A and B are shown apart, each in its own frame.
Chain A
Amino acid sequence: EAGVAQSPRYKIIEKRQSVAFWCNPISGHATLYWYQQILGQGPKLLIQFQNNGVVDDSQLPKDRFSAERLKGVDSTLKIQPAKLEDSAVYLCASSKREATEAFFGQGTRLTVV
């Protein structure tokens, strides 16, 4: 089966600009996660969707980050405006149900200059 698809793989933007990331989960996976991973650290959950509803967005900086999952399939994560400290890898993952393992995309490496 096809894995989790993410685009773009790399993005360089200036601070205060906006950026969007796209994720296509594995077909049939109801749960979708967006993680932020700073170099040398473990992944930090930004937002978790169950179908197109938000289960957990407690660590999402809502003043600048937003995410949506229309129709319960693809998802986009947006940052506006970006700050230097947003430089990280943004990982998308999906799972069949909340209680099973998550499968990850290759991530988008964001550099804010």
Chain B
Amino acid sequence: AQSVAQPEDQVNVAEGNPLTVKCTYSVSGNPYLFWYVQYPNRGLQFLLKYITGDNLVKGSYGFEAEFNKSQTSFHLKKPSALVSDSALYFCAVRDIGDSNYQLIWGAGTKLIIKP
């Protein structure tokens, strides 16, 4: 069965420090992988995606993510955190071979950046 795991409910980072939000996935075929961010009382905003090519993907607001096929992971990273990065982050995966193209979502990780 397809699934996405975000093992940390909450991640606390000091401003200026690097941050990592973890995501692992399970699909039967090859994955399309996505990260979204949700600010309070807002809809989800697309951050970045991995479809094919370079394992390191760069996205909006200085975020990047690294696709690791052997570890089935797609961790979100940023070299220097800002207080404004505090939000809810969701990882999602789609199996390329799924004819319904269903998007499977993680439960989300709350990121708190402290000044």
Could you list which residues of chain A lie within 8 angstroms of chain B, going by C-beta atoms?
4, 31, 33, 40-45, 48, 55-56, 91, 93, 98-99, 101-107, 109
Interface band, chain B: 20 to 34
Q: Tell whether, in the assembled complex, residue A99 and residue B44 are in contact, meaning their CB atoms are under 8 Å apart.
A: no
CB pair A99–B96 under 8 Å, yes or no, is yes
Contact of A106 among B42, B90, B94, B96 (CB under 8 A): B42
Chain A residues within 8 Å of B100, by CB? 48, 55-56
Contact residues in B for A99 (Cβ distance below 8 Å): 32, 51, 94, 96, 101
For A9, the closest partner residue in chain B by CB is: B41
A sample of 12 more A-B contacts (CB under 8 A), given A43-B44, A102-B46, is A42-B90, A42-B105, A42-B107, A42-B108, A43-B90, A45-B103, A55-B100, A55-B101, A56-B102, A99-B51, A101-B46, A101-B49
Q: How far is the CB of B32 from chain A (nearest CB, A)?
A: 6
Q: Which residues of chain B are near A106, meaning CB under 8 Å?
A: 42-43
Residues of B within 8 A of A (CB): 32, 34, 36, 41-46, 49, 51, 90, 94, 96, 100-103, 105-108
Whose C-beta in chain A lies nearest to the C-beta of B35? A101
Complex Cα spacing A29 to B51, Å: 19
The chain A residue sitting closest to B94, CB to CB, is: A99
Given A101-B34, A103-B46, A104-B43, are A45 and B108 also a contact pair (CB < 8 Å)? no
